[in-house]
Structure 1
Amino acid sequence: MAALSVGVSAGEVLGLIASGQAQTRGALARLTGMSRPTLAERLEVLFRAGLIREGEHAASSGGRPSRVLDLDRDRYVVLGADVGEDHVRLLLTDLTGVVVAERLTEMPVSAGAEAVLGWVTATGRELLAASGRTGRDLLGVGLSVPAPVDRATNRPASPSVMAGWEGRSVEGLIRAELDVPVVVENDVNARGYAEHLQAWGPDDDLLYVKAGTGIGSAIISAGQLFRGTHGAAGDIGHIRLRPEDGPLCRCGNRGCVEALAAGWSIVRDLRRDGLEVSTTREAMDLVRAGNPQAVALLQAAGRTLGQAIAYAVNLLDPAVVVVGGSLTGTAGQHLLTGVRASVYAHSLPLATNELRIVEGRHDERGGATGAARLVAAKTLRPDAVNDRLRALA
């Protein structure tokens, strides 16, 4: 990497430290081209703001050993909330995603934006106080929601399961109570981002597929979350595999992946066969109990989902496909076996030669963790850091 301009800002210095590109004064001086006195001034600003700290001595290659520079994980925190169809999970984390405190409540998303976000902001204050922090220590709030998010407005778009949220400014409602930056993200993107950072970080090209009551995917390309022009990228659940004779989907079309392989479609087929189930969880309980009809339907769902994933693999050529959601877990081998068989049967050999298809590792907390990491990334961008430093001056 070529040396940066000597005019590099304190925010850019922080970015180099946070990313691990340079974690000693010597490495920063070499990478930025700044003189040591100028670099010392930048670092002193970051120290005073509580953004960085010095730790143990780095391994020495001769000469005077340097201390390792890192984010000050004890100073600032972020809130990450995952709004599910029937619950809200709230995490208070440090800037690297380590959980400081957590709350979970049963609250349907249909309760509406004011009720849900009122709980998030009020509980957020409680978590801050319980951890000995104030609003000044909060850098931002991330919100994971079960709907696509319009990138232009930062609002849920076409929120089919979010009755009562239409036209509401999620960001505005949160900022009215907690005046900090807000990130609103689709829940599958948030989960995929968390998987990428905390479980599969070395793999810069990753496809995360959430297989639950509904089906969606998140695309990590070159280490970055790919949302598309309007935020609609990754809608794998509505690829129409059987458009002519397939079952009706919740979106109004026929033969979508969701209508053939999602949790709600498995529940539909079990009820058709005379079994009394009403939720995806109950269907998976039958799988765990060894019910042959439920096992067969989950295996078939895996094969169908694998066909859709194969199309994505041929298009994106990821290093790893991570499958998470409520159709995985203790009984998820039935789904993953079908997924693997279909992907390898329908994808190009070059794309699958080294491809790994694995189960997700961060399902319960994934949405909230991903939302927290996204808001941390936003608030640690050089421009955001420089704005904060100017406000503190």
Structure 2
Amino acid sequence: MKFNGFSAAALFQLLRNGQPRTKAELVTMTGLARSTIQLRIDTLLELGLIAPVTDAVSTGGRPSAQMALNPKARVIAAVDFGATQASLALTDLAGEILGRTSSKIIIADGPESCLGWMVRTIRSELAALRLKEVDLIAIGIGLPGPVEHSTGRPSNPPIMPGWDDFDVPGFVNHHLTATVLVDNDVNIMALGEQKFAWPDIENIIFLKASTGIGSGIISSGVLQRGAEGIAGDIGHVQIARGQNVPCRCGNSGCLEAMAAGPALAQRLALAGVEYNGKSIAVLSDVVAATKGGELAAIQAVRQAGRDIGEVLTTCVSVLNPSVISIGGSLAFAGEHLLAGVREVVYSRSMPLATEHLTVAQSRAGADAGIIGASVMAIDYALSSASIDAMAAALESANN
């Protein structure tokens, strides 16, 4: 492929995968003069985004100088907020985790409280790594509710009082200067699952079954957010078994009202089901009882899988994924949930759609959100637009 009149940012895109390249290779790949390549390399070296790499193998004589991404050039903050817990990690530009922490954070306490914790924790983690705030180039945040990705503002999130239309990037940038990117937590989990477990698969549905139910969709290698950022919100699709069961969204018969963690816990509690001498009250009780072999809990989780499978069958017909990955707290109940999903998806979908379809438990597990938030932030930080802006700022500073 030939490139004409492109910037240092365009050259960087040939180096960002970490594979070392010589100047001669870059000349061949781009068709540019060696002197032009050297100018672009000088800019990227000054920005610290690339670094020389010694040849691993020499064929005799002086080895050719190679250049590659310098993953330590900047730092990324990745944050995954759940309903009652938050995880935060600092990563390098290759996604390697440098430091991390988790804390009991109640999302319903409001944005100032939760984001205040995030800012303090980022500063603490930077200090622990002996890094400065200027080293932080981007922050990726996942929130458990609908988000308008272009603005970073939550949109009528059901379990997040006080967050609706809150300017998350604006609040954070009062304290930290790094670019802030915000998305729904299931979307970043989809990115994380693909990066961790299925890097060569371009069509994936990631389903999170927990306090709520939602999905992240990657089609042709691209995360699909939809026109208003709520693509994949399958928790509020009506299912046949729901009938007149009310849902917190205001409608009735929603998948979430029948198969999410709180619905299962409530149903088992009303039936008087106990485990280890204690009544089942919350999702973690359902998971523990299921893993412990309590028959009523197993049956409830298996039926939840069938209900989820009912909706996923339509998704399979519309999107034709190669992988459906099941994550979230309810997935910790193990194969019982997946068995219910597979039972319905494989029996009701067209044979061609399921011939090579894998339905599996999330391999990234609890780290999916952190990994995905990092992927989102890194993709922005290393984009041509970002590198162009950094190069322009460097040129302005040098003049």
* TM-score, with length taken from structure 2: 0.92
**Among residues 326, 329, 343, which one is paired with 1:323 in the alignment?**
326
**Among residues 342, 351, 365, which one is paired with 1:340 in the alignment?**
342
Q: Deviations over 1:243-269 (max 9, x none)?
A: 872422221222211122111111121
1:270 matched residue in structure 2: 268
Please give the alpha-carbon distance, in whole angstroms, between the structure 2 residues aligned to 1:337 and 1:236: 19
2:46 matched residue in structure 1: 48
8 Å CA contact 2:141–2:373 kept in 1: the answer is yes
Deviates more, 1:187-196 or 1:121-130: 121-130
Please give the alpha-carbon distance, in whole angstroms, between the structure 1 residues aligned to 2:342 and 2:248: 26
Please give the alpha-carbon distance, in whole angstroms, between the structure 2 residues aligned to 1:100 and 1:13: 27
For residue 235 of structure 1, report the CA deviation from its aligned partner: 0.8
Q: Deviations over 1:22-50 (max 9, x none)?
A: 84433322222211221121112111211
Matched, 1:296 2:299: yes
Please give the alpha-carbon distance, in whole angstroms, between the structure 2 residues aligned to 1:237 and 1:169: 26
8 Å CA contact 1:243–1:254 kept in 2: the answer is no
8 Å CA contact 1:8–1:32 kept in 2: the answer is no
- Which letter does structure 1 place at the counterpart of 2:96? V
1:360 matched residue in structure 2: 362
Unaligned stretches of 5+ in structure 2?
A: 274-278
Q: Deviations over 1:354-388 (max 9, x none)?
A: 11111112232222221122011111110111101
8 Å CA contact 1:266–1:298 kept in 2: the answer is yes
1:27 matched residue in structure 2: 25
1:39 matched residue in structure 2: 37
Q: 4+ residue stretches of structure 1 with deviation over 3 A?
A: 19-27, 58-69
Secondary structure of 1:17's aligned partner: coil
Please give the alpha-carbon distance, in whole angstroms, between the structure 2 residues aligned to 1:221 and 1:60: 42
Please give the alpha-carbon distance, in whole angstroms, between the structure 2 residues aligned to 1:354 and 1:88: 36
8 Å CA contact 1:242–1:256 kept in 2: the answer is no
8 Å CA contact 1:95–1:373 kept in 2: the answer is no
Output aligned runs, 1:1-393, within 5 Å: 2-5=1-4, 7-19=5-17, 23-57=21-55, 66=64, 69-242=67-240, 245-275=243-273, 276-329=279-332, 331-393=333-395
8 Å CA contact 1:58–1:66 kept in 2: the answer is no
Secondary structure of 2:340's aligned partner: helix
- Which letter does structure 1 place at the counterpart of 2:37? L
8 Å CA contact 2:78–2:139 kept in 1: the answer is yes
Deviates more, 1:50-59 or 1:16-25: 16-25
8 Å CA contact 1:242–1:254 kept in 2: the answer is no
Unaligned stretches of 5+ in structure 1?
A: none
Q: Deviations over 1:38-78 (max 9, x none)?
A: 11211121112111123353678999865553321222111
Secondary structure of 1:16's aligned partner: coil
- Which letter does structure 2 place at the counterpart of 1:390? A
8 Å CA contact 1:58–1:67 kept in 2: the answer is no
Change (3 A) 1:181 1:292: same
Secondary structure of 2:240's aligned partner: coil
- Which letter does structure 2 place at the counterpart of 1:3? K
Please give the alpha-carbon distance, in whole angstroms, between the structure 1 residues aligned to 2:242 and 2:206: 28
CA RMSD of aligned residues (A): 2.1
For residue 172 of structure 1, report the CA deviation from its aligned partner: 0.4
Q: Deviations over 1:75-130 (max 9, x none)?
A: 21110111111122111111122110112111201121111111111111111111
Secondary structure of 1:177's aligned partner: coil
8 Å CA contact 1:22–1:31 kept in 2: the answer is no
Please give the alpha-carbon distance, in whole angstroms, between the structure 2 residues aligned to 1:285 and 1:154: 36
Seq. identity, % = 36
